[in-house]
Structure 1
Amino acid sequence: MANVLWALRRGHWPSLIGAWLHFEVSFMTWLLIGSLGVSIAEELSLSATQKGFLVACPLLSGALFRIVVGLGSDYLGPKTTGLYVLFCEMVALLWGWTGGGTFSQMVGIGFMLGIAGASFAVALPLASRAYPPAHQGLVMGLAASANSGTVLAMFFAPRLAEWVGWRGVFGVMLAPVLVTVVLFAVLVRRDDAASAREVFPNWRRKLEESLARPAMYWLCLLYSVTFGGFVGVCSALPIFLHDQYRVDLVTAGSITALGGLLGSVIRPLGGYVADRVGGALVLPAVFMAIAASMVAVGTLPSLVPAVVCVMAAITAMGFGNGVLFQVVSDKFPKEIGMASGLIGAAGGIGGFLFPFGLGSLKDLTGTYAAGWWAFAAAAGCAWATVRLYNRRMNLPQRNG
């Protein structure tokens, strides 16, 4: 503990706190529609396809906004860009509080809330720039732990909705975002505008170099399954539990919060194991666990076995998120910022595809089984690519 505190004093720790707070509150905002999806769907009488698209919409726009916000962080600086992100979140929340009377309006609100998912492109560069290279692992891990905002959204939003209604939750959420604006402005040190403008011209060259490497597309595929699966399942799970098992909103939110907690806390362990063993050797077991768990959920067993299998899948996804970024740092040691942005965007797209596909296939087939099995097939494809990579690299093939 003393070593950790010593390391934290080697950089600008108020900026680290600001980065963590930005990421935490933004993650809560990003998944707000998913946590309230049951209430919104019942009031607006949505079909399964509409439900899936609505909860997936912030995930898709979040992937797109990550690219824009990443550019802003490089050019304007992460502090200035971070404040713009928070202000946009407040506009979206205000619209959700006062509007949202139709499906099209809710899609618009969901699209705007996606900018909260782009906090990834603010918080991590901010934390990184606040500390010397020797402490990057610790600092980036602490900043990324703000994924726990998923847990807070899924646990508290349904309970608040029972008191103030789902629109009222959007209004309540304005308060923590406003507090974050003030603290972020006070805690985070000023952007170095000159330095940012020196970095920005290299962005296009780094992008072209990254996209020219096949490994980029491979890692995007893998992350769309692990991180995409994590946020996608957390967004769609309350609706699935309610529709399939008639679980009430609060209980469904609590189950989802547990999954979000498991997927968040195990992520550092995945990175640690990957450091010791090698990420490429661990990934086959990760994707096999995800695929097997998804197949089991797709059989639509009784509630308790279904929840156990979903928790196993989310835990494997969280573990895989930690493993994957060890592989990313190994493949793109000099372009880690650019690679993280592109791969993170792919994760958001994967997050969109899961709930939208789950709802669409439910309407097409009359059962939720098809959606779970389709995602299991995607995890199986990811498993096959990793096995092929390991074979080509002459890495030892482990079971799984």
Structure 2
Amino acid sequence: MDRKSFMKSGHSPSLFSAFLYFDMSFMVWSLLGPLAVIIMSDFQMDAAQKANLVALPVLGGSILRLVLGYLTDVIGPKRTGQLGLLLTMVPLVWGWKFVDSLNELYIVALMLGIAGASFAAALPLASRWYPPKYQGLAMGIAGAGNSGTVFSTLFANRIAAHYGTWHVVFGLALIPIALVFIVFTILAKDSPNQPAPRKLSDYGRVLNQRDTWVFCALYCVTFGGFVGMANYLTIFFNTQYGLSPVRAADFATVCVIAGSLFRPVGGWLADRVGGIRMLMGLYAIVAIMMACISTLPTLPVIIVLLFIGMMALGMGNGSVFQLVPQRFQNEIGIVTGIVGAAGGLGGYFLPKILGNLKLSTGTYTPGFLILSGVALVCVVLIFVIQGAWKKTWIGSGGKARVDASMPDSIAS
């Protein structure tokens, strides 16, 4: 890759702003993942209730991504991002000062989805500045903001232990969000190549296209798998291996780092070798790793398995979004919202599957076997559909292309 060509082809301050907005929003979005094992000392919860607590922010993010995706196309990604940052402060203030029951905490958890919805504004902000040949890398860099999860798993429980309360973590999280709002306001700039605002009926037509649902299914597994595991791993390590809250969060951090850092690698490799090849290989790796994890081996072994599995999920995120902007250039905002919502739903159901099956069977084995089977279904789905893709909008090598001569129904 020609670094100078990449830098000149887009707008670096906006790319950085998109990453920063996404990064700190992800930190807030995933706060309850590590904190759950500390919060349960205040509110007694069974395995299903703990899973529900960490799953609700993901559900909220799924719903609100559709809203932010629409706003991105109507008022632009910058204004949408500013609005998202301001609204993110609401559940942080509530969690800091006013929560005193589990039901209220559930409401705060759902509202944290506002931070998760940042996806629908951050990625279009970056994507619209870059030409098709750099889409994978640009989206990968912006999307690497999911590394914000690392800050939650690494520091949240330490801060709570130091101050003797988990409430203060929400208060301190307001500081980076406020700083990011200032930086984002100064540096971010909407691309001059903004698509014209569409009517809701236009986006309804997007939902009638098969490829929209295929991308939703694929991203439901990659992104949903990453965010779901990132939120649940602290509980898993604490419950299965008896680790302390801080120690369990540290091990979760190691695994989350893999998924975060390798997302841009996935986008870059997809640009080089093709999204189809990348995704089929990555889903196969995830299926194998989940099957191995279902045996619940010793702690060192499971750390390695989870590290590889999270790395593959992170790279899969980048690979999926190497293809999405190529297929839906003119509707990238709403499609990002739709596909991102599907990813969020995956992240909602993963903790629910693991937590509920743990409660009913007494072991995590069935849950991980189901996740392995889902990844295998994705391999089969891509294998079946790749022929149609290569005949329309993907080259024979599996690399995305956008031809000026392509019909609007395919290129848009």
Which residue of 1 is the match for residue 148 of structure 2? 149
| Mapping 1:288-367, distance limit 5 Å | 288-367=284-363
Say what the alpha-carbon RMSD is for the aligned residues: 2.7
One-letter amino acid matched to 1:176: P
**Aligned-pair distance for 1:205?**
4.2
Using a 3 Å threshold, how does the CA distance of structure 1 residues 204 and 249 change in structure 2: closer, same or farther? same
**Distance in structure 1 (CA, Å) of the matches to 2:188 and 2:12:** 9
One-letter amino acid matched to 2:208: A
Residue 329 of structure 1 contacts residue 336 of structure 1 at CA under 8 Å; is this kept in 2?
Answer: yes
| Mapping 1:11-30, distance limit 5 Å | 12-30=11-29
**Distance in structure 1 (CA, Å) of the matches to 2:242 and 2:75:** 48
Structure 1 SS opposite 2:112: helix
Q: Does 1:185 align with 2:157?
A: no
Residues 162-193 of structure 1: per-residue CA shift (max 9 Å, x gap): 1122111111111111112222223334899x
One-letter amino acid matched to 1:77: G
Query: Which structure 1 residue ranges, 5 or more long, are not aligned?
Result: none
Which residue of 2 is the match for residue 384 of structure 1? 380
Query: Which structure 2 residue ranges, 5 or more long, are not aligned?
Result: 391-395, 399-412
Using a 3 Å threshold, how does the CA distance of structure 1 residues 142 and 273 change in structure 2: closer, same or farther? closer
**Aligned-pair distance for 1:277?**
2.7
Residues 322-373 of structure 1: per-residue CA shift (max 9 Å, x gap): 2222333454354444332211110000000001111111111121222212
Residue 13 of structure 1 contacts residue 130 of structure 1 at CA under 8 Å; is this kept in 2?
Answer: no
Which residue of 1 is the match for residue 393 of structure 2? none
Which residue of 2 is the match for residue 116 of structure 1? 115
Which residue of 2 is the match for residue 87 of structure 1? 86
Residue 290 of structure 1 contacts residue 313 of structure 1 at CA under 8 Å; is this kept in 2?
Answer: yes
Structure 1 SS opposite 2:40: helix
**Aligned-pair distance for 1:67?**
0.8
Residue 135 of structure 2 contacts residue 325 of structure 2 at CA under 8 Å; is this kept in 1?
Answer: no
**Distance in structure 2 (CA, Å) of the matches to 1:369 and 1:86:** 39
Q: Identity of paired residues, percent?
A: 40
Residue 206 of structure 1 contacts residue 335 of structure 1 at CA under 8 Å; is this kept in 2?
Answer: no
Aligned counterpart in structure 1 of residue 249 of structure 2, from 249, 253, 260: 253
More helix by share: 1
| Mapping 1:195-234, distance limit 5 Å | 199-200=196-197, 202-234=198-230
Report the TM-score, using the length of structure 1 for normalisation. 0.89
**Distance in structure 2 (CA, Å) of the matches to 1:289 and 1:43:** 39
Residue 88 of structure 1 contacts residue 112 of structure 1 at CA under 8 Å; is this kept in 2?
Answer: no
Which residue of 1 is the match for residue 55 of structure 2? 56
Using a 3 Å threshold, how does the CA distance of structure 1 residues 4 and 276 change in structure 2: closer, same or farther? closer
Structure 1 SS opposite 2:185: helix
**Aligned-pair distance for 1:107?**
0.8
One-letter amino acid matched to 1:257: T
**Distance in structure 1 (CA, Å) of the matches to 2:342 and 2:153:** 23
Which residue of 1 is the match for residue 168 of structure 2? 168
One-letter amino acid matched to 1:18: S
Which residue of 1 is the match for residue 158 of structure 2? 159
**Aligned-pair distance for 1:68?**
0.7
Structure 2 SS opposite 1:161: helix
Structure 1 SS opposite 2:99: coil
Report the TM-score, using the length of structure 2 for normalisation. 0.87
Using a 3 Å threshold, how does the CA distance of structure 1 residues 180 and 281 change in structure 2: closer, same or farther? closer
Using a 3 Å threshold, how does the CA distance of structure 1 residues 139 and 392 change in structure 2: closer, same or farther? closer
Residues 116-135 of structure 1: per-residue CA shift (max 9 Å, x gap): 01111222222344567776
How many pairs does the alignment contain? 392
Residue 63 of structure 1 contacts residue 349 of structure 1 at CA under 8 Å; is this kept in 2?
Answer: yes
Residue 78 of structure 1 contacts residue 191 of structure 1 at CA under 8 Å; is this kept in 2?
Answer: no
Residue 390 of structure 1 contacts residue 396 of structure 1 at CA under 8 Å; is this kept in 2?
Answer: no
**Distance in structure 2 (CA, Å) of the matches to 1:327 and 1:371:** 30
Which residue of 2 is the match for residue 104 of structure 1? 103
Shifted more, 46-55 versus 335-344: the winner is 335-344
Using a 3 Å threshold, how does the CA distance of structure 1 residues 133 and 308 change in structure 2: closer, same or farther? closer
**Distance in structure 1 (CA, Å) of the matches to 2:190 and 2:301:** 51
One-letter amino acid matched to 1:340: T
Structure 2 SS opposite 1:42: coil
Using a 3 Å threshold, how does the CA distance of structure 1 residues 388 and 19 change in structure 2: closer, same or farther? closer
Residue 97 of structure 1 contacts residue 169 of structure 1 at CA under 8 Å; is this kept in 2?
Answer: yes
Which residue of 1 is the match for residue 45 of structure 2? 46
Residue 232 of structure 1 contacts residue 352 of structure 1 at CA under 8 Å; is this kept in 2?
Answer: yes
